[in-house]
Amino acid sequence: MDVPKDQLSSLLDHGLYASAQMLGCFAVSSTSINPETSPHLKAESLVLFGDSLFRENEYRRAIQTYKQALQYHKILPRQNAATPPTTRSSLSASNRSSSPNSFNTSAINENEVKFKIATCYSSLGENRAALVEMEGIPAKSRNLEMNLMMAKLYRSSRHMRAAIGCFKECLRNCPYIIEAIIALAELGVSAKDIISLFPQTPNRSGRPPFDHFDSSRWLQRYVEAQCCIASNDYKGGLELFSELLQRFPNNIHILLEMGKVKAVIGKNDEAILDFERVRSIDPYVVTYMDEYAMLLKLKSDHAKLNKLVHDLLNIDPSKPEVFVALSVLWEKKDERGALSYAEKSIRTDERHVAGYIMKGNLFLLMSRPEAAVTAYRMAQELRPDLRSYQGLVRSYLALSKIKEALYAAREAMKAMPQSAKALKLVGDVHASSTSGREKAKKFYESALRLEPGFLGAALALAELHVMEGRNGDAVSLLERYLKDWADDSLHVKLAQVFAATNMLQDALSHYQSALRMNPHNEAAKKGLERLEKQMKGVDPDAPEDDEDNEVDDADGDQEEAELL
């Protein structure tokens, strides 16, 4: 051969992919290789050249090259194709070296080459084509890496039963594939069923390779935690994660999981602390940093949000989390620009839930509730959580589709029967019509019994008191909460009630308290502006007529009574 194959392999092994690609051009065009008499050598050179293209992200060229290699391979005896591949990486060096006795047989493995083609298609986002290639590999010939890719492709193609089967096969071979555990939990497989997949065959020492009662017991706890979260038992999941954190202090993965869950259930301050702890341990983490960005936006902490986005852009500007964080940053400045970033996050990763949540939020801000419904539905389909239900309810209320809003809220209550936030969501729908206010009051009170510190329900109940003309009850409720929970939102609501009852000096005091606690509180700033007009004797705004949108839903009432 004009170009020694081992030299081409050596360049690939050392990561010198550009040099390998240039040398590969010589290898595949060499006249010393006769494709008719030595097609196996031609096939091997093409695979190596394809590997160099793959490593340089030239996926289209790599696909074409690998397919040419398979064409030469097919005219050879096919005993190699039936040989199951080893569990090493498909692009490892050992796969490139041919047997010294293979004068007339190819060292390439047809299944490995098909896997490489599928990987290229997947990198291009062409999952259907990737799946076709993978399905051409016999099940018995698939290694761990292949099964994991099959599982992901089936899941993205919504073939959930097939995806579950492949994820299970991964865990039968190796119980420590964390992403397979998370996927199975999200697909509804129970913790017991997942743990039963872990291999129990005794090894040479006579002990099982995976001892449930020894050092690997933590993995059981991890499985249980993920299954709790997937079934909306957030409290149980957080307790298990906290237990794991005691055994593995400063575990970034566990802290991120806890932060994400707390963000979902509205424990914003605790979630922020978890994310800040992660950044103090490893300032280059990108995972879930878009969730952190959304929390900073809610807290109006623009300085930290700006710094976070700046840091993320310096770490890796191509990640979907970075695009969502940019969307959050631009939300108030340029809604269309923010929307383009949210859409870019989804194009980068079509399963990125935060991208759909952000997209829905932006559509609501842009008064496009129909589009918001679609975005929240996509988020719910990928991973139903409280935020997608909240978004759907807000969208349907904006469309005056009260029955649909009530259905979405009840679905949240069924999915999360122990969630005060879900109860409040049903109350919010009832509060949207005068005839439903008494029902709303019951749901808000139930939410507060379930979670006494839930300020959202307290604020909603206070607002209901005001709507019903019970300003004194609203003040009493808010002042009672203010004793235990110093929060700027409580001060704002109290100020609004006092302003409505013409107790302007008290209103001024509470607006000022809110701004001292949070100088970025937009509601306090706007309220203070209105208050200044009132103090000057100017009507801050003209009264608007409330339109009642009543719902007659006897079956739903019975269903709610049972759930309450």
Mean pLDDT of 369-397: 93
Q: What is the b/e burial string over 338-349, where b = at least 16 CB atoms within 10 angstroms of the residue's CB?
A: bbebbbbbbebe
- What are 316-351's pLDDT values in tens digits? 999 999 999 999 999 988 999 999 999 999 999 999
Q: What is the CATH number of the domain that holds 56?
A: 1.25.40.10
Max alpha carbon distance in the chain (Å)? Answer: 99
The pLDDT, as a whole number, for residue 339 is: 96
Total domains, the chain: 1
Mean pLDDT of 509-535: 85
Task: Please check whether residue 416 is in contact with residue 425, taking contact to mean a CB–CB distance below 8 angstroms.
Answer: no
The pLDDT, as a whole number, for residue 27 is: 87
DSSP string covering 186-224, please? HTT--HHHHHHTS-----TTSS-SS-TTTTTHHHHHHHH
The pLDDT, as a whole number, for residue 203 is: 53
Q: What's the pLDDT band for 559 if we cut at 50, 70, 90?
A: low
Which residue type, as a one-letter code, is found at position 491? H
Residue 338 lies in a domain: no
Q: What's the pLDDT band for 516 if we cut at 50, 70, 90?
A: confident
Q: What's the pLDDT band for 531 if we cut at 50, 70, 90?
A: confident
Task: Please check whether residue 85 is in contact with residue 143, taking contact to mean a CB–CB distance below 8 angstroms.
Answer: yes
* Element at 334 (helix H, strand E): none
Which DSSP state fits 419? -
The pLDDT, as a whole number, for residue 481 is: 85
Q: What's the pLDDT band for 98 if we cut at 50, 70, 90?
A: very low
Task: Please check whether residue 274 is in contact with residue 258, taking contact to mean a CB–CB distance below 8 angstroms.
Answer: yes
Most confident range, picked from 6-15, 260-269, 282-291, 448-457 = 282-291
Residue 92 lies in a domain: yes
Distance CA 308, CA 241 (A): 26
- Least confidently predicted of 226-230, 481-485, 514-518: 481-485
Is residue 85 over pLDDT 90? no
Nearest Cα neighbor of 415 from 228, 261, 231, 237 is: 231
User: 437 versus 96: which is more confidently predicted?
Assistant: 437
The pLDDT, as a whole number, for residue 92 is: 46
Q: What is the mean pLDDT of the chain?
A: 86
Distance CA 458, CA 444 (A): 7
Distance CA 470, CA 462 (A): 9
Mean pLDDT of 65-72: 92
User: 10 versus 232: which is more confidently predicted?
Assistant: 10
Mean pLDDT of 41-64: 94
Q: What's the pLDDT band for 105 if we cut at 50, 70, 90?
A: low
Percentage of the chain with pLDDT > 70?
Answer: 86
Residue 113 lies in a domain: yes
Is residue 215 over pLDDT 70? no
The pLDDT, as a whole number, for residue 6 is: 87
Residue 267 lies in a domain: no
Nearest Cα neighbor of 200 from 208, 212, 191 is: 208
Residue 476 lies in a domain: no
The pLDDT, as a whole number, for residue 208 is: 54
Residue 493 lies in a domain: no
- What are 180-203's pLDDT values in tens digits? 999 999 999 999 999 999 987 555
Residue 34 lies in a domain: yes
Percentage of the chain with pLDDT > 90?
Answer: 58
Q: Which domain holds residue 59?
A: 5-142
- What are 226-256's pLDDT values in tens digits? 999 998 889 999 999 999 999 999 999 999 9
Q: Two tokens at 291?
A: 């969730």
Mean pLDDT of 154-162: 93
Residue with tokens 């993995």: 219
- Least confidently predicted of 214-218, 395-399, 479-483, 510-514: 214-218
Residue 10 lies in a domain: yes
The pLDDT, as a whole number, for residue 207 is: 53
Whether pTM > 0.95 for this model: the answer is no
Is residue 11 over pLDDT 60? yes
- 125 φ/ψ sector (left φ>0, alpha ψ -120 to 50, else beta): left
Overall residue count recorded for the chain in this entry: 564
Mean pLDDT of 210-221: 70
Q: Two tokens at 111?
A: 């299944």
Helix/strand/coil percent split, the chain, to 5:
70, 0, 30
Q: Two tokens at 340?
A: 């383009």
The pLDDT, as a whole number, for residue 30 is: 80
Determine phi and psi for 219, rounding to 5 degrees. -65, -35
The pLDDT, as a whole number, for residue 409 is: 94
The pLDDT, as a whole number, for residue 86 is: 45
Distance CA 563, CA 557 (A): 10
Q: Two tokens at 357?
A: 């949540």
Determine phi and psi for 158, rounding to 5 degrees. 65, 25
User: 52 versus 452: which is more confidently predicted?
Assistant: 52
The pLDDT, as a whole number, for residue 250 is: 93
